[in-house]
């Protein structure tokens, strides 16, 4: 799919074709400038591929093993148009509601990804009920999903656990892990923690 603003020819088209022909290979700015025909605006064209066409071109801001000036496209599938059409307000609302945490794997925005520590967690907005199953673009049907889950690298069985299963998991964990979970919950809910302690000491 090519929209009107991205003709196949021109620097952007050449860069798009080059990225798609080199999935998974790290490229530097020299190479990309050359592909763009020596055009000084090549970096802007790369940015457009990302922001306007939704290609997840990674830089050192996304992965700690990339140096400044290095670019990498791992996934040929651009982000869906709906995500690019979401307003800044809706995006901020959904991310805030989800505590800037991936709702599938629990990765936190900006932190190293738990399943791939070389990658910084970058959050996207995804549907709770898929559009193909009648889900809407309303904020109530949107959630934060990290790029790893978004790319389907993690399998979809990582669904949110219900309370019964979550407590069962915690009870089976080691005391050390239970204490780690406790620390995490205290840092997430400091006010409620203080209230619980105060209520217990009455």
Among 32, 95, 104, 142, binds Zn ion (CB under 5 A): 104
Residue 35 or 107 with smaller CB distance to Zn ion: 107
Residue 46 or 146 with smaller CB distance to Zn ion: 146
CB atoms within 10 A of CB 175: 7
Is 123 a residue that touches Zn ion (CB under 5 A)?
no
Is 105 a residue that touches Zn ion (CB under 5 A)?
yes
Give which of 43, 11, 13 is closest to 27, Cα–Cα: 43
> Can you tell me which residue has the tokens 């530097």?
28
Interface size with Zn ion, residues (CB under 5 A): 6
* Interface stretch with Zn ion, choices 7-15, 67-75, 94-102, 133-141 (CB under 5 A): 94-102
Is 95 a residue that touches Zn ion (CB under 5 A)?
no
Residue 17: CB minimum distance to Zn ion, A: 30
> Can you tell me which residue has the tokens 């995006």?
91
Is 146 a residue that touches Zn ion (CB under 5 A)?
yes
- As a whole number of angstroms, the distance between CA 34 and CA 25 comes to 16
Name, in order, each residue with C-beta under 8 angstroms of 63's C-beta and a sequence gap of 6 or more: 72, 118, 119, 120
- As a whole number of angstroms, the distance between CA 198 and CA 191 comes to 11
Residue 43 or 100 with smaller CB distance to Zn ion: 100
């Amino acid at each position: 799919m090519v929209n009107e603003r991205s003709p196949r020819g021109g620097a952007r088209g050449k860069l798009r074709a080059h990225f798609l022909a080199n999935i998974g290979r790290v490229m530097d700015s020299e190479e990309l400038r050359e592909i763009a025909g020596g055009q000084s605006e090549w970096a802007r064209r790369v940015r457009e591929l990302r922001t306007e066409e939704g290609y997840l071109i990674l830089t050192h801001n996304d992965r700690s093993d990339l140096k400044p000036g290095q670019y990498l496209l791992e996934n040929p599938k651009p982000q869906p148009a709906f995500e690019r059409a979401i307003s800044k307000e809706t995006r901020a609302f959904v991310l805030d509601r989800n505590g800037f945490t991936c709702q599938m794997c629990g990765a936190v925005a900006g932190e190293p990804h738990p399943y791939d520590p070389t990658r910084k967690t970058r959050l996207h907005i995804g549907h709770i009920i898929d559009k193909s199953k009648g889900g809407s673009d309303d904020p109530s049907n949107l959630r934060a999903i990290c790029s790893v889950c978004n790319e389907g690298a993690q399998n979809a069985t990582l669904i949110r656990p219900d309370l019964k299963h979550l407590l069962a998991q915690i009870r089976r964990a080691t005391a050390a892990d239970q204490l780690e979970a406790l620390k995490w919950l205290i840092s997430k809910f400091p006010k409620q923690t203080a209230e619980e302690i105060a209520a217990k000491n009455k």
